[in-house]
Structure 1
Amino acid sequence: MKARRTPWWYYLVALVLGTVGGMLLAKYDEVTGLALLGVPWFVSALLLLIGVSVLVMAVQVHQYATTDPRKRAGMKPLDPQKAVSTLVLAKALGLVGAGLTGWYGGQILLSMAHMEAAYYEQAVIECGIACAVCVVDMVIGIVGEWLCQLPPMDGPESAKAKEAQRQRNIAPAAAKTRH
């Protein structure tokens, strides 16, 4: 399986789309009078818990992938499916973190004008905390994706492999000339 890093502009697009969506929700809330703004506190806690879980899994994948195979003898083998799932989770967390940052940020932008009302003040506080948690999740997703990278494989065509083969070919020839 070949996986590529998520391009930086995907995060930007998710952030912009989230911001537009959040602003539209805030405007709809203002026009209709429905209480749709804000986010329950447990959602922010849950988002943070998910981010920490993905980070822990990404660190485990990174530790296994960067450990010298000769030193892995004492380590528990890593399930390849877990490594791939961790990569997918990290990618998703980064993009969702960007989108939700925009979503809550858009709500904040349009609600700031009405801060004198208790409802809007509470919504801005809730969205501010959720926005901060989502930025953390986005960063964890980006870092987690980096942590899930495999080190480059030295195939037979690499410079390192060719040099090793050359050294192996020189050593027997040198041994024969000494006898």
Structure 2
Amino acid sequence: MQPVRISRLLALALAVALGGWAVLLVLAPQGIRPGPVPVLADAVVLVIAAGTLVAGLRVRSYLRGRRPGLDPVVAARTAVLAQAAALTGALLVGWYSAQVLVTVGDLEIAAFAARARAAGAAVLCALVLGVVGVVVERWCRIDSPHDDEPGDGQPA
């Protein structure tokens, strides 16, 4: 499994933001606008980020020798969870950014200002999820201890 690249995450967030913004702009004249982002959505994203962080700390402790006996399958699942969190965070940052962009022109209307604030808070929560995913994925990386030894295809 290749680690996720920051540039890929940024490109994904930007593509979703622009695509979502375009779709929401097309739907707005028909009276179709996104509803406010519920606080529960932010809470769920933050709980997933916290769970990913806790799982990553267990793997990090094991790799530093402080936690003996961690099952390798658990470590692999944690790495997959971290990558999924990073990708999901990027997708959500893009989607909620699109919602902010579509309401930015109507901030003088109280309801739209509230929607923009709720979507902005959701962007921050999704950003936390993405950053936690990237960090935990880096923690789960194992460097081979035998890379420098002769006989592994490298000159002595």
RMSD: 2.1
1:122 maps to what in 2?
114
Q: 1:58 aligns with which of 46, 56, 59?
A: 56
> TM-score when scaled to structure 1?
0.76
> TM-score when scaled to structure 2?
0.86
Count of residues in correspondence between the two structures: 151
1:11-50 matched pairs, under 5 angstroms: 11-50=9-48
Tell me: CA distance 1:114–1:123, structure 2 relative to 1, closer, same or farther (3 Å): same
Q: 2:126 aligns with which of 134, 141, 147?
A: 134
Structure 1 stretches lacking a partner, 5+ long? 160-179
In 1: Cα distance, 2:14 partner to 2:127 partner: 14
In 1: Cα distance, 2:116 partner to 2:23 partner: 13
Q: CA deviation at 1:137?
A: 0.9
For residue 85 of structure 1, what is the amino acid of its counterpart? R
Tell me: CA distance 1:38–1:22, structure 2 relative to 1, closer, same or farther (3 Å): farther
In 1: Cα distance, 2:141 partner to 2:80 partner: 12
Matched, 1:92 2:90: no
Preserved CA contact (<8 Å) 1:108 1:127: yes
In 1: Cα distance, 2:88 partner to 2:18 partner: 15
In 2: Cα distance, 1:132 partner to 1:78 partner: 32
Is the partner of 1:22 in helix, strand or coil? helix
For residue 140 of structure 2, what is the amino acid of its counterpart? C
Q: CA deviation at 1:24?
A: 3.0
Structure 2 stretches lacking a partner, 5+ long? 151-156
Is the partner of 1:150 in helix, strand or coil? coil
Q: CA deviation at 1:20?
A: 1.8
Q: Compare CA radii of gyration and give the structure with the larger one.
A: 1
Identity of aligned residues (%): 28
Q: CA deviation at 1:109?
A: 1.5
